A and B are shown apart, each in its own frame.
Chain A
Amino acid sequence: MHIFMIIFPILLTVLFTLALIPLLVWMERRVAALIQDRLGPNRCNIKGVRLGGMIQPFADMLKLLFKEEFYPKHVKHKIYYILAPGIVFASSFLSFMVIPYADDITLDNYTYQIQALPIELGVLWIFAFAGLGVYGIIIAGWSSHNKYSILGSLRASSQVISYEIAMGLSIVSMLITYGSISLNDMVHFQSELIFGFIPAWGIVLQPLAGLIFIVTAFAETNRAPFDAAEGESEIVAGYHTEYSAMKFALFFMGEYIAMTAASALIVTLFFGGYQIPWLNTQSMHEHINLIIMALMALLPLVSLGFVSWMRRNNSCDISRRRETYFATILITIFVLALESFFLYLLISGLNGQQSSVFIMILQIGSFALKVMMMNFVFVWVRWTFPRFRYDQTQHLGWRILLPLSLFNIFVTATFVVVSGV
């Protein structure tokens, strides 16, 4: 049990990063298609099972795995050339390590932190590795020895100097508000209520810092509207022009992991982390039976809505109808099984440890839901806005976001000193 509880958050980290990538690729392509009045990839199937196109990312992955590992002859510093995708991938992966997925849990008189690295450094760790990710991009562009790649890494470096300061300063005002650099403490702080009914989320306390941080987080993940570094319409593919097969796939996966990491950080700092609104861990322990009953009521409603949506939109021909039919049966079995499990929990009653495990699972679910919603915002923004030119990014960073974040620190610090909180 002890070993499992230590490995469990690491498993969760792997789930949230590697296992989420196919889902995110699928989400990106389908959301883009729906925004642009298209259907998107929906043809890939295994024996007629399409899952709404969710098989497609696996096919893409297989293709990238079996592609030829091509090394351009003109690359002089091969070590940097090979190292660069690894840096991008590893740094975005590592920045995920300190995100708390659930509240501290006490099992058998031992308190476990549900984060892969149980350290208090939190924000500092994330900034260390998030900042390192850009080095991968710069090194990739430089070592590719190609004019397009050099331009891409030039843009990446010019972007880095424009957003990092505003990002750091917007976090400073959050640190003043929360009075801690540990992400878990920050989430604890956000479980309170203001005036008794508004959740004390970071976005409510510090809307300006939240806005600045979200904008700079977009820049940090190198996604639209700040994806000038790869700018496929101007400089071919920017820094990864010379990369193919799995080396390219590492950049590609690194981008999505960075996106999830940024979403997780935004959720942790500004949207209450794993907290379910109006229900902190203490009150969940008190009303555990009510929560189970609410879940029992909610589950059939949600699945009924999903099934009716599926029957409306996934029954254009006979094979689609068959897939919908089997999916409906599977969902019904799943819902019935969960309902009977909840009923069993209600009847037998939960002791302290069981209810804390149950609450932990609920909190992980709430965190996952919030992260997915934030990821959706990332995708949504990407397919809405045109790209910033890199001097425009600098203008935004230095002339607008930096003064605003300094102003925000000033106001926050004044408020904290005057009110003496």
Chain B
Amino acid sequence: MGVKVVKRHGDSFKDKTYLWAVFSGMRVTLKKFTANLSDTTCIPTCEYPEAQPEDITNRYRGMHRLTHRDDDSVRCVACFMCATACPAECIFIEAEERLDGVDEKQPSRFDIDLLECIFCGYCVEACPCDAIRMDTGIFSIVAKEREDFILNKEQLLKNRGAFGQENSLA
């Protein structure tokens, strides 16, 4: 077996003085500085409240919503699959009998505590009826009271998907 001798870097006199590396490092930062100073539009950060992010894809997991049937009633059948799958235990469901003949069960209460939620999307994966989705595209969730972060059934039903039924992946 032959031995491959790899040349060590940093042994030459030029490298040992460090000055060359120091000045080339400073040249890199100065280039960045002058380029960004002369034209601030090439800075990739966006000025957030005025400029909203444009890169929210249809896979983005935003605020939750409960989907609707064709007759606009709630699709959820209160099977508790999402609440069971939830690692943060932030979904609280109470079931009741559904009397309009469309299905047998429906939730009387469906609360999601957004302060507990970790936005993992397991509830969406677990749902057998495609009743819960996270495709609203809402990324900024703001409220003044802790209680306001707990979304109830009506609020969840009011949210609409941002990407259309077919394109949604979240």
Interface residues of A (CB under 8 A from B): 31, 34-39, 309, 312-313, 316-317, 380-381, 383-385
Contact = CB atoms under 8 A, between A and B. Distances in A.
Contact of B25 (A31, A36, A317, A384): A384
B40 A31 contact: no
Contacts of B120: none
Nearest to A396: B18
Contacts of A380: 26, 29-30, 33
Interface string B28-49: 1110110011111101110100
8 contacts: A34-B33, A34-B37, A37-B43, A312-B39, A313-B41, A317-B50, A384-B28, A385-B22
A206 to B, nearest CB: 16
Q: Chain B contact residues: over half helix, strand or loop, or mixed?
A: helix
Nearest to A381: B26
B45 A37 contact: yes
A34 B32 contact: yes
Contacts of B38: 309
Interface of B: 22, 25-26, 28-30, 32-33, 36-41, 43-45, 47, 50
Contacts of A35: 29, 32-33, 36
Residue in B22, B33, B50 whose Cβ sees the most chain A Cβ within 10 Å: B33
Contacts of A37: 32, 36, 43-45
B36 A383 contact: no
Contacts of B37: 34
Contact of A38 (B25, B28, B43, B50): B43
Given A35-B29, A38-B45, 16 more contacts: A31-B33, A34-B33, A34-B37, A35-B33, A35-B36, A37-B44, A39-B43, A39-B47, A312-B39, A313-B39, A313-B40, A316-B50, A380-B33, A383-B29, A384-B25, A384-B26
Contacts of A39: 40, 43, 45, 47
Given A309-B38, A313-B40, A384 B29 contact: yes
A295 B45 CA distance: 39
Nearest to B31: A35
Nearest to A31: B33
Contacts of A381: 26
Contacts of A385: 22, 25
A384 B30 CA distance: 9
A125 to B, nearest CB: 31
A35 B47 CA distance: 17
Q: Which 4 A-B pairs have the closest CB atoms?
A: A34-B36, A313-B40, A384-B29, A35-B29
Contacts of A313: 39-41
Residue in A309, A312, A384 whose Cβ sees the most chain B Cβ within 10 Å: A384
Contact of B47 (A36, A312, A316): A316
Contacts of B47: 39, 316
Contacts of A312: 39
A36 B40 CA distance: 12
Contacts of A317: 50
A381 B29 CA distance: 9
Nearest to B40: A313
A381 B22 CA distance: 9
A56 B105 CA distance: 58
A378 to B, nearest CB: 12
Nearest to A42: B47
A385 B21 CA distance: 10
B24 to A, nearest CB: 10
A317 B43 CA distance: 17
Nearest to A309: B38
A406 B47 CA distance: 53
Nearest to B34: A34
A78 B30 CA distance: 45
Nearest to B44: A37
A359 to B, nearest CB: 32
A385 B32 CA distance: 15
Residue in A35, A38, A381, A383 whose Cβ sees the most chain B Cβ within 10 Å: A35
Nearest to A314: B40
A37 B47 CA distance: 13
B25 to A, nearest CB: 5
Contacts of B25: 384-385
B88 to A, nearest CB: 31
A37 B44 CA distance: 7
A307 B53 CA distance: 30
Contacts of A316: 47, 50
